[in-house]
C-alpha cells in the first residue's frame, strides 16, 4: 500500500459498488419477469433471499481480488483485508440486516417489528453521524469499517502532473450551450408553432385572397368589400349581395337561404386565423 486514500476516492468506490449492484439486480428482475407467472410469484416471495444471494456472489470478488469492484476501479483497497475480515464484513454489512429483517417478518409479531424499527433507526442515525464526521475529518467511510478497523489505502502512489484545462473548458462550454438550449427551446418551439399555423392559414386561404376566386360571381369584377358564402364559398361584392334581394344569401345558391348565408371575407379570415394561432 502506498498511502491512505482521499475521501472522494472512498465515496466514489461506494457509489460504483452501489451502481454495479443495481445493474445486477435489474438484470435478475428482468430474467424473473420473463418467467411464467407462477414461477415469478415464487421468486417474488423469495426476493430477500435473491438479494442476499446476489450480494454474496458480488462479494466473492473481494476474496479473489482483495477489494470490491468499486475499489478496484478507483485503485484502492483495505489494508490487511484477509478472508476472515471479508467474512466478518459481509456478515455485518449484508447477512445480519437480512436475517434480522427476515426473522422479524416471519414472526408476525408487532412488538418485534417495533423493536427492529427502533434498532434500525438508531443504526441509521449512528451511520449518518459517522458519515458527517467522515466528511469533516476523514478516516473510516462507514460505521462498519470503523467497527472492523478497515481503512482504505491507495494501491499506488498518486502522482502529481500538469493539469490540462482544454478538456475542462470544452466541457464547461458544452454545458453552457446545453443550458442555453434548454432555456430557449420552449420559446423557439412556440415561435415555430405560430409560424407553422400561419403558413397553414396562408395555404388555406391564400388562393381565395389572391386568386381569381376574389372576383364577384355577380358582376365578374374584383369584389369590393368581398363577402363569402358560409357553405358554398362563393365570393361576391357587398353591394351585389345587398341588392340581389336574397336576404344576404349567396346570389347563386338560392335553394336554401339559411345554409348559404354570406359573411364578410375579412371577418372570416380573422376568426380562422385566431383559431389556428390559439391551437
Q: Dump pLDDT digits (tens) for 81-99.
A: 899 999 999 999 999 989 9
Question: For residue 210, what pLDDT is reported?
Answer: 46
Q: Is residue 110 part of a domain?
A: yes
Beta bridge partners of 262: 229
Q: Is residue 207 part of a domain?
A: no
Instruction: Answer yes or no: do 119 and 13 share one domain.
Output: yes
Separation between Cα atoms, residue 251 and residue 191, nearest integer Å: 42
The two counts, helices (H) then strands (E), for the chain are 11, 5
Pick from 134, 157, 180: which residue ends a domain? 157
Question: For residue 85, what pLDDT is reported?
Answer: 92
| Top-ranked range on mean pLDDT: pick from 73-77, 197-201, 244-248 | 73-77
Q: How many domains does the chain have?
A: 2
Pick from 109, 125, 157: which residue ends a domain? 157
Instruction: Answer yes or no: do 113 and 247 share one domain.
Output: no
Separation between Cα atoms, residue 51 and residue 59, nearest integer Å: 12
Task: Tell me the pLDDT of the chain averaged across its residues.
Answer: 81
Select the more confidently predicted residue: 170 or 23: 23
Average pLDDT over residues 100-121: 85
Q: Is residue 195 part of a domain?
A: no
Q: Is residue 188 part of a domain?
A: no
Average pLDDT over residues 182-206: 75
Q: Is residue 56 part of a domain?
A: yes
Q: Is residue 130 part of a domain?
A: yes
What is the value of pTM for the model shown? 0.55
Q: At residue 279, does pLDDT exceed 60? A: no
3-class state of residue 258 by DSSP: coil
Q: How many CB atoms lie within 10 A of CB 1?
A: 16
Instruction: Answer yes or no: do 132 and 243 share one domain.
Output: no
Domain coverage including residue 68: 3-157
Instruction: Answer yes or no: do 38 and 149 share one domain.
Output: yes
Q: At residue 171, does pLDDT exceed 90? A: no
Please check whether residue 171 is in contact with residue 164, taking contact to mean a CB–CB distance below 8 angstroms.
Answer: no
Instruction: Answer yes or no: do 25 and 127 share one domain.
Output: yes
Please check whether residue 276 is in contact with residue 200, taking contact to mean a CB–CB distance below 8 angstroms.
Answer: yes
Amino acid at each position: 500500500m502506498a498511502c491512505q486514500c482521499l475521501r472522494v476516492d472512498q465515496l466514489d468506490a461506494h457509489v460504483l459498488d452501489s451502481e454495479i449492484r443495481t445493474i445486477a439486480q435489474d438484470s435478475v428482475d428482468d430474467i424473473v419477469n420473463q418467467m411464467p407467472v407462477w414461477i415469478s410469484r415464487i421468486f417474488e416471495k423469495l426476493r430477500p433471499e435473491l438479494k442476499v444471494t446476489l450480494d454474496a456472489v458480488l462479494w466473492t470478488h473481494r476474496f479473489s481480488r482483495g477489494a470490491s469492484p468499486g475499489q478496484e476501479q478507483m485503485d484502492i483497497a483495505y489494508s490487511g483485508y484477509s478472508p476472515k475480515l471479508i467474512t466478518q464484513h459481509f456478515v455485518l454489512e449484508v447477512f445480519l440486516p437480512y436475517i434480522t429483517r427476515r426473522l422479524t417478518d416471519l414472526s408476525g409479531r408487532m412488538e418485534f417489528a417495533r423493536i427492529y424499527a427502533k434498532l434500525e433507526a438508531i443504526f441509521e442515525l449512528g451511520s449518518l453521524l459517522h458519515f458527517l464526521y467522515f466528511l469533516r475529518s476523514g478516516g473510516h467511510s462507514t460505521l462498519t469499517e470503523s467497527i472492523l478497523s478497515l481503512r482504505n489505502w491507495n494501491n499506488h502512489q498518486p502522482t502529481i502532473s500538469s493539469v490540462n484545462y482544454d478538456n475542462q473548458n470544452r466541457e464547461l462550454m458544452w454545458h453552457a450551450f446545453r443550458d442555453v438550449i434548454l432555456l430557449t427551446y420552449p420559446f423557439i418551439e412556440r415561435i415555430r408553432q405560430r409560424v407553422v399555423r400561419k403558413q397553414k392559414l396562408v395555404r388555406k386561404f391564400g388562393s381565395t385572397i389572391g386568386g381569381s376566386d376574389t372576383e364577384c360571381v355577380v358582376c365578374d369584377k374584383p369584389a369590393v368589400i368581398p363577402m363569402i358564402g358560409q357553405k358554398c364559398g362563393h365570393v361576391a361584392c357587398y353591394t351585389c349581395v345587398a341588392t340581389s334581394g336574397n336576404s344576404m344569401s349567396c346570389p347563386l345558391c338560392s335553394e336554401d337561404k339559411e345554409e348559404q348565408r354570406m359573411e364578410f371575407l375579412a371577418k372570416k379570415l380573422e376568426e380562422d386565423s385566431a383559431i389556428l394561432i390559439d391551437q
